[in-house]
Amino acid sequence: MQKKLIAVFTLAFASITFSQTEILNENFQSGVPTNWEFIDVDQQIPNAAVSEYTTAWIVKPDPADTSNKTISSTSYYNPIGQANKWLITPQLTLGAYGNYLKFKAKSFDPSYPDNYKILISTGNLITDFQDTIALVVQETPYWIDREFVLDSAFNGQAVFIAFVNTTNDGYALYLDDIVVRKDDPLSVSKPTIASVQISPNPTSQYLNISSEQMVTDYQIVSTDGKVIQKSSLENTQQVDVSLLQEGVYFIRLHVNKHYTTQKFIKK
């Protein structure tokens, strides 16, 4: 079922990897291992068009290549609602340095692209997950490789990683080839744009933006993937956040034909 076309935005990340020691490598070709966990927090009823989604996440063939199995989640509900569906990895013991998460992702329907967040914790209860690895807003309708360096605060610890579908009235999100590697001193994460800094952080009123290149516009996104503020920045490099409620947010900055996303705290 096709839905009304809307603009597609995505967070882009680029990386080069020279060596790796994998502690997780899952492609779901043999199903979902029993040590992965699904949690259906929203408990909403899938639309009849996606009735096969009987749990929070299911193994589903890639629509473009039915020989390839993926892990998938829906947010197409009857009645319309917002997803809150969790996929949690088995416990992983990270290395003393050089820990990375890599995976593939895509939205099924470009008309209704999917939002999701990725979190890390030393516990596997939903309330344990307080640290965000990344927030992806409106995933691409084609397979894209994504890679993130894991916070060094978790180096050497046993952790869980959670993928959470947070889309409001979307269709279907697909993930595949989830890999975590450790102790990788040769991996270099290269941004696609010049360095951008925001300050102060935390802030109560303004975010000042410092960049070697002009930042043309921004979006402020909540932790559940909602764009709650956006504007042009062509005449200023300062963002007024005084009307936001206290909490954690992401600011998505458009610079040199690319986007970069940073987390900040409104106090």
Domain shared by 169 and 234, yes or no: no
Dihedral sign, Cα of residue 8, residue 29, residue 134, residue 56: positive
Q: What is the per-residue pLDDT for 194? A: 53
Domain shared by 218 and 159, yes or no: no
Q: Rounded CA gap, 119 and 103, in Å?
A: 14
pTM, entire model? 0.70
Total domain count, the chain: 2
Which tokens in the block code for residue 81?
């609602």
In a domain, 29, yes or no: yes
DSSP 112-177: S---EEEEEESS-SGGG--EEEEEE-S--SS-EEEEEEPPGGGTTSEEEEEEEE--BS--EEEEEE
With a cut of 90, say whether residue 68 has pLDDT above it: yes
Domain shared by 25 and 157, yes or no: yes
Domain shared by 109 and 183, yes or no: yes
In a domain, 175, yes or no: yes
Domain shared by 239 and 165, yes or no: no
Domain shared by 142 and 246, yes or no: no
In a domain, 1, yes or no: no
Domain shared by 135 and 164, yes or no: yes
Tell me what the pLDDT averaged over the chain comes to. Answer: 87
Question: Residue 225's pLDDT band (boundaries 50, 70, 90)?
Answer: confident
Which tokens in the block code for residue 207?
């975010």
- Give the model confidence (pLDDT) of 30-49 as tens digits: 999 999 999 999 999 999 99
Q: What is the per-residue pLDDT for 227? A: 81
Higher-pLDDT residue of 13 and 198 is: 198
Last residue of a domain, one of 128, 155, 187: 187
Q: Rounded CA gap, 113 and 43, in Å?
A: 21
Domain shared by 178 and 209, yes or no: no
DSSP 242: T
- Residue 200: give its domain's CATH number: 2.60.40.1930
Residue 170's φ and ψ, nearest 5 degrees, are: -105, -145
CA 16 to chain centre: 19
Range(s) of the domain holding residue 176: 15-187
- Give the model confidence (pLDDT) of 152-162 as tens digits: 899 999 999 99
In a domain, 5, yes or no: no
In a domain, 245, yes or no: yes
Domain shared by 146 and 61, yes or no: yes
- Residue 122: give its domain's CATH number: 2.60.120.200
- Give the model confidence (pLDDT) of 74-130 as tens digits: 999 999 999 999 999 999 999 998 899 999 999 999 889 999 999 999 999 999 999
Using CA atoms, how far residue 216 sits from 82, 224, 227, in Å, is: 30, 24, 17
| First-residue to last-residue Cα distance in the chain | 43
With a cut of 90, say whether residue 267 has pLDDT above it: yes
In a domain, 50, yes or no: yes
Q: Which residues contact 30 (CB under 8 A, 6 or more apart)?
A: none
